[in-house]
């Protein structure tokens, strides 16, 4: 480890300590159990026919929340292990980002909903919301994978985590947008924020570290494990915020879309692969795009064929993005996207936002019945109106709304999509500018990228750039064996088609 990175690691250690102390103090002073977790709250003891809906929701949603955390820790983590010398960092930093952003997002959300006693009440659902914020930051992490040191990463976590909560609050709470699976507020925001951060480092010469940017057969298998985990659990991610029949639809639509995107990815990979052979880069990533494709519309009445078409279209776009667009963005803009998040999260999330505008604009009582106004609460008639009285006879649990026309709700979807993209890019650029301040963050040199050696005590390993044994010893290897070869024995050819790879 060079002197610069030693200083950065020291600052990182102190920063983590300060953050943990501050968060601990804030939890001690401000955070308390929500009534649904409070032993003194009598309705909690009244059984299933009691009066605490929050308690019932937390209990019922627990399995899906566990699914989502499996996606965060294992799915994202393993998917990013494709880099031959960055496996410890991919798994380790994924864990660090998830827990840091979750605890930080809980506090930021609490500040926005603080009661008159300046108390933040939390239930298990708030922990879920913190995890969703972490998902957005992990997507951004994919764009800068291997290029930021831990001090830069935790700074990005704090900035982006707060911005994510504010943007989601504006979209979901203030404007009343619908985005059950977070295609707009999680995937699109996270992708374009991370890409903007990466863009601010476009002058660096990543080619000096390109021999460590490739993968091996072993690292690709670990990455494929991440793909499988994400694929299996993605319906829970898209459905966790839905209820009743909408929950069921979200499961169905997500599975159908994933099936469609997976099949079209195999088609594209077979047709365009070298010698008509499949490429693991495609299968690891574009197969998952169907989950993002219906993220904003998974609970809506899009019909099974709608989910199939969305998954097929977005799977095609994602697959071709790895083949064509990613290289062009690097050549024209010097935009280096290590994991290809633009192809798996950015474009699919944006398209899902467009689909939501169309799906909302076409919604009517003919297709939804009275539950139209449960799906779009702001569109429900105002309290006391004749229309509201009619609907209450059919659906007694319906809450009054603002009488917002469906066409206005569709425009709200468009506005939220635009605001999210603009906010993510502008704030990502500003964050990237800050993270490149050498005197504070000590960024990695161009020849130091994609390497665990700077941050981890590696067992019987060595720095493949300088041939320096790790703390645990071991003899220096020759340069020809200091980094892994791909299956045909040529360094760095795994990504010959793609300047970089992707994650979710």
For the chain (504 residues), the mean pLDDT of every run of 10, in chain order, is 85 96 96 86 62 77 94 96 94 97 96 87 92 97 96 97 97 95 97 97 87 91 96 96 94 98 96 88 94 96 97 96 90 92 96 97 93 93 89 88 94 97 97 95 92 88 46 38 38 40 43
The model's pTM is 0.89
3-state DSSP assignment of residue 315: helix
pLDDT recorded at residue 117:
83
Flag whether 380 is in a domain: no
Q: How many domains does the chain have?
A: 1
Q: Three-state SS across 78-103?
A: HHHHHCCCCHHHHHHHHHHHHHHHHH
For residue 463, give the H/E element and its range. strand 462-463
Flag whether 400 is in a domain: no
Nearest-angstrom CA–CA distance, 69 and 98: 9
pLDDT recorded at residue 56:
81
Flag whether 324 is in a domain: yes
Nearest-angstrom CA–CA distance, 491 and 374: 56
Flag whether 502 is in a domain: no
Flag whether 121 is in a domain: yes
Flag whether 220 is in a domain: yes
Which CATH number does the domain housing residue 329 bear? 1.10.3430.10
For residue 6, give the H/E element and its range. helix 3-30
The number of beta carbons lying within 10 Å of the beta carbon of residue 173 is 11
pLDDT recorded at residue 114:
83
Flag whether 369 is in a domain: no
pLDDT recorded at residue 430:
97
Domain that holds residue 323: 3-38+53-362+405-441
Nearest-angstrom CA–CA distance, 291 and 280: 19
Flag whether 460 is in a domain: no
The number of beta carbons lying within 10 Å of the beta carbon of residue 50 is 13
Residue 276 token pair: 């008509």
Residue 297 token pair: 């519309």
pLDDT recorded at residue 490:
36
Pairing of β 462-463 and β 120-122: unpaired
Q: What residues have CB less than 8 Å from 219, skipping those under 6 apart?
A: 81, 82, 83, 84, 87, 484
Burial degree of 432 (CB within 10 A; 0-12, 13-18, 19+): buried
Pairing of β 462-463 and β 468-469: antiparallel
């Amino acid at each position: 480890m060079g002197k610069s990175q030693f200083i950065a690691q020291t600052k990182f250690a102190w920063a983590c300590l300060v953050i943990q102390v501050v968060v601990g103090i804030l939890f001690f002073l401000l955070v308390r159990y929500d009534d649904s977790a409070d032993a003194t709250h009598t309705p909690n003891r009244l059984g299933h026919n009691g009066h605490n809906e929050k308690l019932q929701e937390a209990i019922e949603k627990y399995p899906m929340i566990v699914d989502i955390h499996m996606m965060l820790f294992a799915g994202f983590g393993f998917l990013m292990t494709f880099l031959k010398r960055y496996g410890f960092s991919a798994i380790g930093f994924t864990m660090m980002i998830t827990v840091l952003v979750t605890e930080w997002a809980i506090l930021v959300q609490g500040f926005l909903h603080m009661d008159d006693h300046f108390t933040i009440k939390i239930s298990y659902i708030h922990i879920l919301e913190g995890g969703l914020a972490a998902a957005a930051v992990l997507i951004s992490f994919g764009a800068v994978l291997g290029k930021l040191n831990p001090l830069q990463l935790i700074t990005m976590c704090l900035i982006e985590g707060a911005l994510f909560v504010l943007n989601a609050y504006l979209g979901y709470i203030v404007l009343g947008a619908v985005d059950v699976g977070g295609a707009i507020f999680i995937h699109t925001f996270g992708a374009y924020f991370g890409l903007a951060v990466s863009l601010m480092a476009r002058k660096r010469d990543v080619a000096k570290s390109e021999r460590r940017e490739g993968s091996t057969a072993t690292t690709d298998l670990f990455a494929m494990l991440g793909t499988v985990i994400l694929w299996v659990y993605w319906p829970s991610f898209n459905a966790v915020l839905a209820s009743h029949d909408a929950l069921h639809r979200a499961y169905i639509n997500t599975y159908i879309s994933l099936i469609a995107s997976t099949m079209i990815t195999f088609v594209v990979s077979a047709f365009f692969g070298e010698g008509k052979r499949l490429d693991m880069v495609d299968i690891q990533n574009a197969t998952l795009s169907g989950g993002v494709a219906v993220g904003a519309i998974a609970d809506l009445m899009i019909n099974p064929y709608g989910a199939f078409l969305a998954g097929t279209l977005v799977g095609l776009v994602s697959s071709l993005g790895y083949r064509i667009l990613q290289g062009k963005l690097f050549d024209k803009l010097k935009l280096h996207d290590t994991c290809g998040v633009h192809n798996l999260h950015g474009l699919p999330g944006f398209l899902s936002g467009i689909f939501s505008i169309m799906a909302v604009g076409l919604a009517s009582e003919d297709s939804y019945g009275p539950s139209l106004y449960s799906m779009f609460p702001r569109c429900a008639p105002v309290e006391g109106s004749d229309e509201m009285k009619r609907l209450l006879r059919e659906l007694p649990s319906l809450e009054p709304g603002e009488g917002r026309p469906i066409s206005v709700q569709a425009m709200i979807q468009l506005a939220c999509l635009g605001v999210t993209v603009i906010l993510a890019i502008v704030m990502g650029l500003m964050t990237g500018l800050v993270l490149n301040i050498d005197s504070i963050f000590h960024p990695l040199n161009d020849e130091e990228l994609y390497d665990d050696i700077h941050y981890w005590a590696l067992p019987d390993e060595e720095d493949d750039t300088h041939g320096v044994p790790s703390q645990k010893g071991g003899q220096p290897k020759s340069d020809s064996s200091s980094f892994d070869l791909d299956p045909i024995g040529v360094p760095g050819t795994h990504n010959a088609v793609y300047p970089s790879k992707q994650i979710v």
